Amino acid sequence: MANTITTTYPFTGEVLKKYTLFTDKEIDTSLHKSEEVFLKWKKQSLQNRTRLLQKLADVLNQQKKEYANLITIEMGKPYRESVAEIEKCIRLIDFYEKNAEQFLADELIETEAKESFISYDPLGCILAVMPWNYPFWQVMRFAIPTITAGNTAILKHANNVTGCALAIQDLFEASGYPVGCFQTLLASHKQIEKIIENDIVKAVSLTGSEKAGRTIAEIAGKNLKKTVLELGGNNACIVWEDADLDKYMDTIVKARMQNAGQSCIAAKRFIVVDEIYDNFLEKFKEALKNIKFGAPLDPKTELGTLARIDLVEEVQRQIDESIEKGAIVLVGNRRNNTFFEPTILINVKSGMPAFDEEIFGPVAAIIRAKNRDHAFKLASQSTFGLGIMLFTQNVEEAKKQIDHVEDGTFFINEMIKSDPRLPFGGTKASGYGRELSREGILEFVNKKTVYIK
């Protein structure tokens, strides 16, 4: 087994840095440090913990350009999107600074007792296994509420963003958090299994693939440990015949092409009612021509590369298999190293990878529906349940569909996006549990009933 990690700049293939994986002894030391710090950290007043959030936001803001640059060179995201990612992290921190005390306050319950209430107490050391596509945001939306609630955190990040993983630990320490409150581990998959089994780790949060989620959940389940899983998505973007395409086409295209399509909440299947299908297809195709591809570090670039060559190859496999089963390429399907040209597939049907699987790249499957009901029926034909978006001018009619949506999110006339103020998560093969909002900060606490006669 290789004991090193090598990071590269996806745009050029240039080697950025080599890192050595932690030994089992180093991991054990880190876990014990996390436990030791937790025993002190949980006794800190909530006011003291939230006070550190402001310092954290200040450091993030001061180092915004450096962090954005690091994101871009490690995973190829356009610089402008990397800056936006850091700014979103700052908004997340501000949200919990203002609301954590309210969220974690004892909840009084009226019973026959003299006093009865729910106390929200931290669990201990929480392990996070995180992906590369939003290397700061995915980590921070776990870490901020989890640590503010009084837990300590251990991070296993994706190897190709190891620099970001270490920078996040430095960020917490530079902001005044106790050393050991947030730690990054450079560990192998085999070592992660042992970490989950370790009694010091009380729960696990994973953002990643369905396969990774099943593996982590199985190990955690055998050890009776809670998990929060935010897994893949195959989100449908439904377009009814009355949709205002001139107003929303930029939003619809961005819903697929943002981050070069490398997003679990991206629109992946565009299910368009027959009456508007041809017009939609023409406008979507025209909009793709205006997207500016270039070097990710160029502030004008709107579409960067995919993060690794193996990801490009997987997207190509999914397209090729879909074509073999009858899909037609209308635009794109050309690649150059890690760049994949924005692609439109039509004649896509159930049974093809472009319909059934999550394609993690700039590929839009545009599907014709007979009518509104048929569109929702096609949307529900998925093992995933992360989100559905609907574009229509009849909002009142759209609201009647809420009860018919099984997914974790339903956005009307807007692309799906995570927001610190709203709970985020999925159903079915998209996982379980919620991040963000009040629900997110209560995932890794002991909801303790207190009853005083």
- Residues known to be catalytic: 230
Q: Which two tokens stand for residue 57?
A: 């936001």
Report CA torsion sign: 394, 399, 403, 409. Answer: positive
What is the spatial distance between Cα 193 and Cα 204, in angstroms, rounded to a whole number?
11
Structure-derived torsion over alpha carbons of residues 343, 347, 350, 356, reported in degrees to the nearest 10: 0
Q: How many CB atoms lie within 10 A of CB 147?
A: 24
What is the spatial distance between Cα 170 and Cα 172, in angstroms, rounded to a whole number?
6
Spatial neighbors of 52 by CB under 8 A, at least 6 apart, are 175, 176, 177
DSSP state of 112: S
Say whether 142 sits in a helix, a strand or coil.
helix
Which residue(s) pair with 385 in the sheet? 427
H helices present in 10-78, as ranges:
24-41, 46-62, 64-75
Report CA torsion sign: 224, 228, 232, 236. Answer: positive
β-pairing verdict for 226-230 and 107-108: unpaired
The full 3-state SS of 324-343, as one line of letters, equals HCCCEEEECCCEECCEECCE
- Determine which helix (DSSP H) or strand (DSSP E) holds 100, and give its type and residue range: helix 79-104
Buried b (16+ CB within 10 A) or exposed e, 185-199: bbbbeebbebbbebe
Give φ, ψ of 290 to 5 degrees: -90, -5
Strand order in the sheet with 363-369: 328-331, 343-346, 363-369, 267-273, 235-239, 388-391, 410-412
Give φ, ψ of 400 to 5 degrees: -70, -15
Say whether 398 sits in a helix, a strand or coil.
helix
What is the spatial distance between Cα 432 and Cα 427, in angstroms, rounded to a whole number?
6
Give φ, ψ of 175 to 5 degrees: -90, 0
